[in-house]
Amino acid sequence: MRNKSSFEMTIVSNLSVEAFLVPSVNRIFEQNGIRIRTTAVNYDEYCSAESLQRFVESDFIVIFLNFENAYSGLLGEDFTTDVSAIIDFELKKAHRIREVIIENSNASILWFGYEDLQWNASVVFGSQYALNGLVDKINAQIREELDSEITFIDTKRVIASIGISNAYSSRNKYRWNYMYSQLLSEKIGLEIYKQYLITHGITKKCIVLDCDNVIWGGILSEDGVENIRLSSSGLGKPYRDFQRFLLMLHNHGVILTVCSKNDEADVLRVFSEHRDMILREEHIACFRVNWDTKAKNIQDIAATLNIGLDSMVFIDDSDFEIEAIRHMLPDVKSILYKRDGVYEVLSCFNLKRDINAVGIKQRNNAYKTDDYRRELKKHCQTFNEYLSLLEMEVDIHEAFPTEYARISELTQRTNRMTNGIRYTVEELKAHAMNSEFKLYSVSVVDRFSDLGIVGAMAVENDELQLFSLSCRALGRKIETTMLDMIKDKHKITRYRFNDTNKNNEVRAVLGKYEMSETASISE
């Protein structure tokens, strides 16, 4: 639960990281407005009383171990003997430090794998696997056995992004016991920051896509469905590859929408009939295909989905359209589509690898059926009549452990109808061990779709610790149902509140329930 004055990070390493990596991490976080205190712990001393206290205080623990330092001289040998003993020893080490951390901390664990790319013997043997692939085997075993409890980083991939020749420093190695360059330290710092954003759900939510020369090549209104460029090879392949990437984003919870100046029937025909389309109509939460300005359509999409403009990314191939949106809707991140550069700029999405397929399907169905709800509302004389015809069922129950991931996601992605308290899955698990802490899950079904888990509350003693309701469930008095239930079940006199700059409405709602505010910290 992030309510401390600074973010606490500990880096456990067998290298001297204080002169290079620690300053790089601090600088990157502070440049992004995050107050941080980073402390280095020597790997050989991680069981000391001082180190254990750091684990207790930490929000994030980074394991950054170097193979060459752990096995001095081994990389200089032509190592052809059985490596199983070393692998077993490394697994025991990994399990031991993981156990010590879990016993003393609720922190997220970020584990950088070993690397062996500065293998001097490669000048003799060429680009064969160093030590019969020992490093890769160790990494694979650690990742397999600890995957559910750590986030494992491919250090070799980080090095590859800048090249081996730019990653190492002999001067730093022999003078500071740190063989990496300043450039690699910056890249590692950026990776740590990226994983911080992922862990805490700080990401854009929605992509608004143009069609022509973005998800297919050519101009649909001029070339026709049969002649647009979209194929598994040749000039149409980049567009199909991009669609495959977009589908991956969709499968990890990103909302896909379409905003195109075209005839809607033609666009829908491509989605339903073109054999090389990866994206289909079922993947698109909202279509705005007409001849209105794109600014108007994007605002309409935001209102339809009930999300903020600052959570949206607009992709178009037209310089004019991009500049128009940047001028008229500056909160929207606007990206000019370029085949070779579009993937890198979509790093504004920070997504978890695990997929909640059921939850994503429920979310997309809720968005796609909102048109039916709006149409129903138009024909109702009163709001209460609308709620009655909606046939809504709200289920509130003590949360199951299998629901913690969705509740964590909800607390981190919701900025409007929330008291501003964020939880990681690890923090929820730790709080669940306290008998005074009660966590509730809120699910909603109506006549049009199952919305899934849309809300969460938590109570500890007489204090409301958590209140969070998804934007897709607003406008139905669900927040009233939630608070009525929690007040009836618990004697609550106080509520926690962190200001997100968008949640003043919640403060007003909570204030009506005769509860006093006990914390107010701006994010």
Domain ranges in the chain? 7-199, 206-348, 357-520
Q: Are 236 and 276 in contact (CB under 8 A)?
A: yes
Q: What percent of the chain has pLDDT over 70?
A: 96
Burial class of residue 512 in the structure, from the number of CB atoms within 10 Å of its CB (0-12 exposed, 13-18 middle, 19+ buried): exposed
Grade residue 1 by pLDDT with cuts at 50, 70 and 90.
Answer: very low
Average pLDDT, the chain: 90
Query: What's residue 129's pLDDT?
Result: 81
Grade residue 9 by pLDDT with cuts at 50, 70 and 90.
Answer: very high
Q: Are 240 and 278 in contact (CB under 8 A)?
A: yes
Grade residue 4 by pLDDT with cuts at 50, 70 and 90.
Answer: low
Q: Are 225 and 276 in contact (CB under 8 A)?
A: no
pLDDT average, residue stretch 464-491:
90
Query: What's residue 98's pLDDT?
Result: 94
Query: What's residue 5's pLDDT?
Result: 65
pLDDT at 508 over 90: no
The terminus-to-terminus CA distance of the chain in angstroms comes to 12
Query: What's residue 321's pLDDT?
Result: 96
DSSP string, 426-494: HHHHHHHTSTTEEEEEEEEE-SS-EEEEEEEEEEETTEEEEEEE-GGG-SSSHHHHHHHHHHHHS---E
Q: Which helix (H) or strand (E) holds 152?
A: strand 151-153
Coil, helix or strand at residue 106 = coil
C-alpha 201/C-alpha 472 separation (Å) is 17
DSSP-assigned beta bridge partners for residue 520: 497
Q: Are 477 and 426 in contact (CB under 8 A)?
A: no
Out of 20-24, 360-364, 465-469, pick the least confident: 360-364
Helices (H), 329-466: 342-345, 357-368, 370-378, 383-390, 404-413, 425-432
Query: What's residue 77's pLDDT?
Result: 60
Query: What's residue 2's pLDDT?
Result: 46
Q: Name the superfamily (CATH) of residues 357-520.
A: Gcn5-related N-acetyltransferase (GNAT) (3.40.630.30)
Grade residue 3 by pLDDT with cuts at 50, 70 and 90.
Answer: very low
Q: Which residues of 191-203 are buried (b: 16+ CB within 10 A; e: fewer)?
A: bbbebbbbbbbeb
The DSSP call for residue 219 is -
pLDDT tens figures, 24-52: 999 999 999 999 999 999 999 999 999 99
Grade residue 520 by pLDDT with cuts at 50, 70 and 90.
Answer: low
pLDDT average, residue stretch 57-72:
92
CATH number assigned to the domain with residue range 206-348, chosen from the 4 options 3.30.460.10, 3.90.226.10, 3.40.50.1000, 3.40.710.10: 3.40.50.1000
pLDDT at 472 over 70: yes
* Same fold for the pair 7-199 and 357-520: no
Angle at 270 between CA 240 and CA 210, to 5 degrees: 65
In the CATH hierarchy, which top-level class contains the domain 7-199? alpha beta
Query: What's residue 80's pLDDT?
Result: 53
Query: What's residue 79's pLDDT?
Result: 53
Query: What's residue 512's pLDDT?
Result: 85
Query: What's residue 75's pLDDT?
Result: 61
pLDDT at 130 over 90: no
C-alpha 115/C-alpha 127 separation (Å) is 14
pLDDT average, residue stretch 316-329:
96
Q: Are 216 and 279 in contact (CB under 8 A)?
A: no
The DSSP call for residue 47 is T
Distance (Å) of CA 422 to CA 63, 199, 350, 457, 462? 24, 11, 16, 12, 19
pTM: 0.83
Q: How many CB atoms lie within 10 A of CB 444?
A: 25
Burial class of residue 440 in the structure, from the number of CB atoms within 10 Å of its CB (0-12 exposed, 13-18 middle, 19+ buried): buried
